[in-house]
Amino acid sequence: MSKMTQIIDKSEENILHTYNRFQIVLDHGDGVNLYDADGKEYLDFFSGIGVFALGHNMPEYTEALKEQIDKIMHISNLFYNEPTANAAEKLIKVSGMNKVFFTNSGAEAVEGALKAAIKYAYNKDGKHDHEIIAMDHSFHGRTCGALAVTGKLAYREAFEPLISKVNFAKMNNLQSVLDLINDKTCAIIMETVQGEGGIYPADKEFIEGIYKLCQEKDILLILDEIQCGLGRTGYTYAWQQYDVKPDIMTTAKALGNGVPVGAFLMNEKVAANSLVAGDHGTTYGGNPFAGAAVNKVLELFETKDIVGHVRELTPYLEEKLDALVGKYDCIKERRGQGFMQGLELTIKPGDVVNKGIEKGIFTITAGTNVLRLLPPLVIEKKDIDKMYDILDSVFAELA
């Protein structure tokens, strides 16, 4: 029995089966490549679902974490710590927001964002009947609050009733939002670029129209930037390309480059009129180890000009993907922004993922018919060329 088989068997015996995992045991990574327990190399165009923005085993990043481990990893939020203070300062600067709360995950960041919005509305009128508008095909997480605003019934159905009444509008259809707004609406939540739902960026007219509505009616705009944020679209946060600014924003994934950390941020209006001491908390969130990770990630984003690198290489990535679209009838279109791209297929995207793994590349599906590509933000042209060659071979066989 191989080492990989032993590890898989041990995992299946002891870990709750909520994932249909690939039959691969990953052992280590280096740059934009991953290696399994048998030594096979894979080009990583998946990055742990958009987490490893800086790639695997970047020396400057790993050394910063090792230094912090030698100092202190956890103290609780009853004390201050320097790494998290520095991380908060950097995150406020690059996001343009005013206050931050560090969490352990993206879903927890959404939970906090929803609590802040509901408390803001409660402080205005003392009522408990507020409503939230979310988007069809959206994905915000698996916890009960995050699940309540996730626009796919199959994810929610077994766990209802969930939180406050949520109504679902259509992404990029402003009228569908207008049709749902009433005097009980306290917040609108949406991904600036839908990820799990099939790689759908917000149209300029749509997101700016929603922003205007929220400003006029004192409805809070919550933008979920957990997957599309932190450089992936060629902007530090995807909303920064539009003439909008969220009242509350969520971020995670790339924020820790592998260390579990997320955050929700808010403007001064929400900060002054929502959560106060005792309203929200976390044992691990924002501990010194997570703070050191965020601090180093944001430092490296600046010194290595990661956002500029994404913008510089995006045209080349899109050119190569468009070449695949033009070559194979089974690819209907490409859509996305920056290094968050999707190919809509007429064949099963899962078959493409599996065949790609055989040939040495990791990708992921989105929605029901989209192949999603989320490479580390440090890829170079040679990596894009390798991606093209492998996918060209995959589509040649499957088409």
Instruction: Provide the residue-wise pLDDT of the chain in tens; the chain has 399 residues.
Output: 788 899 999 999 999 998 899 999 999 999 999 999 999 999 999 999 999 999 999 999 999 999 999 999 999 999 999 999 999 999 999 999 999 999 999 999 999 999 999 999 999 999 999 999 999 999 998 888 887 888 888 888 877 777 779 999 999 999 999 999 999 999 999 999 999 999 999 999 999 999 999 999 999 999 999 999 999 999 999 999 999 999 999 999 999 999 999 999 999 999 999 999 999 999 999 999 999 999 999 999 999 999 999 999 999 999 999 999 999 999 999 999 999 999 999 999 999 999 999 999 999 999 999 999 999 999 999 999 999 999 999 999 998
Q: What is the pLDDT of residue 117?
A: 97
Say how far apart CA 380 and CA 369 lie, in whole Å: 27
Model pLDDT, residue 157: 81
| pLDDT score recorded for residue 148 | 83
pLDDT score at 381: 98
pLDDT at residue 269, rounded to an integer: 98
- Set out the domains of the chain in order of their start, with CATH numbers: 3-58+305-369+379-398 (3.90.1150.10), 71-303 (3.40.640.10)
Residue 232 near residue 199 (C-beta atoms within 8 A) = no
- Which pLDDT belongs to residue 147? 79
Going by C-alpha positions, the residue among 185, 223, 179, 168 that lies closest to residue 201 is: 223
Q: What burial class does residue 255 get, using C-beta atoms within 10 Å of its C-beta: 0-12 exposed, 13-18 middle, 19+ buried?
A: buried
How high is the pLDDT of residue 162?
75
- The CA-based diameter of the chain, rounded to the nearest angstrom, is 65
Which two three-digit tokens encode residue 196? 């799990």
Three-point CA angle 219, 234, 195, nearest 5°: 60
